[in-house]
Amino acid sequence: MPTNPLTWMIFLPLLGAAVILCLPRDNHSLVKWTALAFTIPALLLAIGIYQGFDRTTAQMQYVTKIPWIPSFNIEYFVGIDGLSVTMVLLTALIAPICVAASWEIDKAPKAYFALFLVLIAAMMGVFCALDFFLFFVFWEVMLLPMYFLIGIWGGPRREYAAIKFFLYTMVGSVLMLIAMLALYFHNDPHTFDMLKLAEARSTYSSTFQSLAWLALFIGFAIKIPAFPFHTWLPDAHVEAPTAISVILAGVLLKMGTYGILRVNFPILPEGTLRYAFWLLAALGAWNIVYGALCAMAQKDLKKLIAYSSISHMGYVMFGMASLTAEGIDGAVLQMFNHGTVTAMLFLLVGVIYDRAHHRNIDGFGGLASIMPVYTAWVALAFFAAMGLPGLSAFISEVLVLLGGWRNYPGLTAVAASAVVLTAGYMLWAMQRVYLGKPNEKYLNLPDISPREIATLVPLGIIVIVLGVYPHAILDLIDTSLQHLNGTVLAAGKAAGAVASAASGAAAH
């Protein structure tokens, strides 16, 4: 029996998928309970990891390393540090919530939950893998269930949205494949071990760093999604069923920024320094502003939240680009916070869509008086998304902006001004949907159900707790991230020293 909790967290959902496929077709509730039963253990293990995680070291923890394909030096190599532990926690938390949010699925629930569990396993694998090949396999495995989940259980234009998501992501991943192979063959002995690839960082030539960095970046940027690769996201979100939107925005988008921090930063630090301003900071700031502006123009509530995701993921890019202690901590904290907040938002949109069967912002009005409990939850989630002090996202956005200010004051001013835009579209949507005169059509809508509240409670608690005590997460991530940041800056100094020595020699 494997003793590493990470291995269990990756493969239990897969086992669950296999079990579900063997269940009788007609017993829907058995399928759902089984799916829940295979996501709860991962959550418990995650809580154990949260308590047992050593916060004082930047080393990998919970490491397992087994040869997989010895002739090509491919390993089953998993482990987590402060960067990945937050993502593992987030995935473990969101998974059972999504199962609960999918309780009303009636169309082929066996296939739905089996695919869903495969998706969870793949995402967990991405965040735990330390062998690049393994990372890539999990990264790609995630595509297939997502394609079917959007394509079969989605909205009216689901076929278009599903294939668009698939094609965009695959374009990115094939570029990643080439960069990965180039890194593999550059090292002698050839290796996919990300830690060894990172140790050899000084041996990659300048051109190699630039090209590999760009190839990897495009792969990750499509996932974030960064402008101009973002257009798949609104389509996918609008068509996807609620739970899939939650997992998409809550966890899947983070794979992009996680990839940049896990691969680009430590392995190609020179490339990171070279492109930090234009491709991370400037693009991040543009993402923040552009996403906010697009969100403001939306008529569909779900699309509005999809664009707000693009805007909020911009903070993550901007924070990591600052290459400061506050900025990079803020970026990863923002990844976690956005995961919880946006999950709430999509769940809440799902609640109203299930009742009214549309999401037109102008088609409602005065829901606050019809569904008061629901509206209270909406208020919490909207204020959190706005970055209201006292709620989680405020801390991470402030950290990002503080860090950014040190290196890019001009861009920071732009990014900070978008906070006003965010408040604008959030409050405006709030006003149109929930305040004002109740719409006659919807006077009889039932308020939020206990099951729906149950999916929101854990997220709400986290949003409030992290708003007043962010160290619950910051302590986890700080050591690893400062080490990572130091690595990148040190590579910059080394390259600078070489360059100045060369120019000095030329002067003599």
Question: What is the smallest separation between the CB atom of 144 and another protein, expressed in angstroms?
Answer: 6
Residue with Cβ nearer another protein (167 or 461): 167
Measured from the Cβ of residue 36, the count of other Cβ atoms closer than 10 Å reads 17
Report if residue 69 touches another protein, rule: CB under 8 A.
yes
Distance from C-alpha of 455 to C-alpha of 117, rounded to nearest angstrom? 18
The number of residues making up the chain comes to: 508
| Nearest by Cα to 386 from 466, 468, 486, 292 | 292
Distance from C-alpha of 238 to C-alpha of 158, rounded to nearest angstrom? 9
Residue with Cβ nearer another protein (165 or 374): 165
Residue with Cβ nearer another protein (140 or 199): 140
Report if residue 66 touches another protein, rule: CB under 8 A.
no
User: Could you say which of 170, 398, 489, 494 contacts another protein (CB under 8 A)?
Assistant: 170
What type of residue sits at position 322? S
Question: What is the smallest separation between the CB atom of 432 and another protein, expressed in angstroms?
Answer: 34
Residue with Cβ nearer another protein (136 or 286): 136
Question: What is the smallest separation between the CB atom of 225 and another protein, expressed in angstroms?
Answer: 17
Question: What is the smallest separation between the CB atom of 62 and another protein, expressed in angstroms?
Answer: 22
Residue with Cβ nearer another protein (212 or 288): 212
HEC string of 214-245 equals HHHHHHHHHHCCCCCCCCHHHHHHHHCCHHHH
* Residue matched to tokens 């732009």: 414
Residue with Cβ nearer another protein (170 or 464): 170
- Please list every residue from 148 through 167 that binds another protein, using CB under 8 A: 148, 151-152, 158-159, 162-163, 166-167
Q: Report whether 265 contacts 272 (CB < 8 A).
A: yes
Query: What's 200's DSSP letter?
Result: G
Residue with Cβ nearer another protein (52 or 67): 67
Q: Report whether 267 contacts 198 (CB < 8 A).
A: yes
Total number of residues binding another protein (CB under 8 A)? Answer: 30
Measured from the Cβ of residue 170, the count of other Cβ atoms closer than 10 Å reads 14
Distance from C-alpha of 440 to C-alpha of 379, rounded to nearest angstrom? 22
x/- map, 179-208, another protein, by CB under 8 A: --xx-xx-----------------------
Q: Cβ contacts of residue 462 below 8 Å, gap of 6+? A: 93, 340, 392
Q: Which residues lie near another protein (CB under 8 A)?
A: 69-72, 136-137, 140-141, 143-144, 147-148, 151-152, 158-159, 162-163, 166-167, 170-171, 174-175, 177-178, 181-182, 184-185
